[in-house]
Each structure stands twice: as C-alpha cells, then as structure tokens.
Amino acid sequence: MDKQKFIADETIRVDKFLANKLNENRNQIEQLIKKGLVSINSKPIKKGGVKLKLNDIVEVTLPKTDEITPKEADFEIPILYEDDDLLVINKPPGVVVHPAPSYKEATLVDWLKQKGYSLSTIAGDERFGIVHRIDKDTSGALVIAKNNKTHEFLSKQLKDKSMGRYYLMLLNEPLKEPKCINAPIARNPKNRLKMGIVEGGKDAKTLFVPILENLAAAKLFTGRTHQIRVHLTKLGRYILGDTTYGKKDQKIPRVMLHARELYFTHPNSKKISIIAPVFDDFKKLMPKGIENEKISNLSSRFDPYDGLCNQ
C-alpha cells in the first residue's frame, strides 16, 4: 500500500479536495472512501461530502498495482521517449488507456504491467501511471509517470496548462481560416452518450488552424471530454470516422484524430517536446503531396494565431 498525506488549505468537501490533489474524478475518490482508505485526522470517513477544516490532515492509502492481474495484451506500443522518471508512448488507434467495468479487453495499463514497468500508483490500480488519457479511437502521444513524484509534477502542469498538446485531424470539409472556439462543454442533456456546448458547462477553449485541404490541427487550452469534436460542431465540421458527432453512415473505421505533439517540463526542469508519427490508416487519407515540414512542428504554426484565443 502507498500512503499519501495532505494538509487542508481551504474549507472544502474532502472528495473535491482529493480529486484536485490526485487529479482524479470524484467517482475514483468515492471508491477509495468506500474501501475505508481515506481518513481525516487519523479517523476513517465513510462519505465524500465531509467538509474539511483548515489544517485538517487527510490521508489516502492507494492499493499497490500488483494486486490486480493484468489481461494479456497482444499488441505493441511504440515508445517515443523514456528515462527513469517517465515514458512517452505513441498510442495506436483502438487501444483503450485504462480498464473500466464495461471493457473486457486488454488495455494500455495491462500492456504496461505485462512489460514489467514500475509506475506511479497515485491514480490507483486502474490508472497505473496514467497522467492523462486519450480516447480509444484517437492515436498519438501520451505521457506516463514512473513514480508518484513525477505523476504529481506532471499533473500540476495539466492543471496550470503548461503541459500542452497539438492534434492533427482529417475533416469532412476544409477549414477556411484559423479559428478559436471558446464555449463551455457539459454532458448533452438530450443524449447522455454525447457531450455538447452547454450554458453553465465547464470552460473549454480550442484553437483550430487549417494546414492543407481537409487536414487541420488543433491546440487545446483546456482538456474536456470530446473537446475537439464538440467544438468542431460550432464550425459546421466533423472529423472523418466520427459517427457520434458527424454522419452515421461513414465507412472509415475510426475517428481520424491524432495527438501529434506533446510538450511539458520534465521534473529535472528540462523542456521536452515529443512528436508522434501518424499511423498508416491516417497517413493513407492525408492530402497527396503533403510535405512533412507542414506537420513536423505544429507549435510554430500556431504561434501567430495564439492571440485569437486571448481576445
């Protein structure tokens, strides 16, 4: 078991407090509470709604990851960068990042365990080392922490937006010009399987830049569920293969969205930027004659347009 200790610096519900500290959703925190793994001032609690007082000591016991037997993963994951603190992988399309009750196949977490990686436990058994996630059909760069100190360090960057991602996508129609969409996102009240632009939802901001024909790129300023796909609906566009937010009768087998570039600060203070090569299924649908230079350094392509999102 791995025990984490925090001192309350505000009056707040304990589940919300721990969700912020551990970069997890409240459902994950609730599971820890139900298992008797959370205490306040050395007394175990039973409900996440307990209100903390200033300087309360909150302790969380995280189960060891080797307590869960991984499923056999019959796929390989390209590693883009690795050192003693972290690794960055190029997640193939079709691979789910972490286990869920409704998903019975092997996941990225199972692959990591199968390879014998010793990774962080701060996010619990199911999210072994996972700092952030991308959807099953989305491919691309993903950073994974090897220890809790690195996990916390990277999670803070996710919150303060100093960790960033640039995505490539193939659209049903070309974008006419760079565009910033700043619109709140929440669960679609008419369809619980979808997200939507909903008044009172969580702030969400995306910058879209056209590259060539129907190939475009996006920079995330926030990290909401389905953010790129939802914000594209405001532009009258959808990603090829996206039958949730686009046409239902598409023959393309997956959403053509790729996390091309990931940048962050390493715990040793080194600035890191990783570019993830696109997979063959994406490459086959790209505009003919596209030069690698056009997509090799997306960060520089966005620099002239960042001001659009500051207006």
- The pLDDT of residue 39 is 92
Average pLDDT over residues 299-309: 83
Which of 5-9, 115-119, 291-295 ranks highest by mean pLDDT? 5-9
For residue 90, pLDDT beyond 60:
yes
**pTM for this entry:** 0.76
Instruction: Give the C-alpha distances (Å, rounded to integers) separating 291 from 55, 288, 295.
Output: 57, 9, 8
Between 141 and 306, name the one with better pLDDT. 141
Both structure tokens of 36? 């008797």
Instruction: Please state, in angstroms and rounded to a whole number, the distance separating the CA atoms of residues 26 and 89.
Output: 27
Highest mean pLDDT among 64-68, 103-107, 156-160, 163-167: 163-167
Phi, psi of 236 (to 5 degrees): 70, 30
Look at residue 128 in the predicted model and tell me its pLDDT. 67
pLDDT confidence of residue 276: 94
Query: For residue 1, is pLDDT > 70?
Result: no
206-258 pLDDT, tens digit per residue, is 999 999 999 999 999 888 889 999 999 999 999 999 999 999 999 999 999 99
Share of the chain above pLDDT 70, in %: 90
Once rounded to an integer, what is the mean pLDDT over residues 97-104?
Answer: 70
Q: How far apart are CA 184 and CA 204, in angstroms?
A: 5
Angle, helices 26-34 vs 14-22, to 10°: value is 110
**Structure confidence at residue 262 (pLDDT):** 93
Q: What is the mean pLDDT of the chain?
A: 86
Among 27-36, 117-126, 247-256, 293-302, the range with the most confident prediction by mean pLDDT is 247-256
Band of the pLDDT at 184, cuts 50, 70, 90?
Answer: very high
Out of 12-16, 124-128, 285-289, 305-309, pick the least confident.
124-128
Active site residues: 135
pLDDT tens across 190-205, in order?
887 889 999 999 999 9
pLDDT band at residue 62 using 50, 70 and 90 as cut-offs: confident
33 pLDDT tier (thresholds 50, 70, 90): confident
What band does 126 get if pLDDT is binned at 50, 70 and 90? very low
Residue 114 has pLDDT above 60, yes or no: yes
* pLDDT above 60: residue 46: yes
Amino acid letter for position 20: N
Exposure class string for 202-228: b at 16+ Cβ within 10 A, else e: eebbbbbbbbebbbbbbbbbebbebbb
247 residue type, one letter: K
Range of lowest pLDDT (93-97, 262-266, 294-298): 294-298
Reported as a pLDDT band with limits 50, 70 and 90, residue 21 is confident
The pLDDT of 116-145, averaged and rounded, is 78
Find out whether 259 and 242 touch, Cβ atoms under 8 Å: no
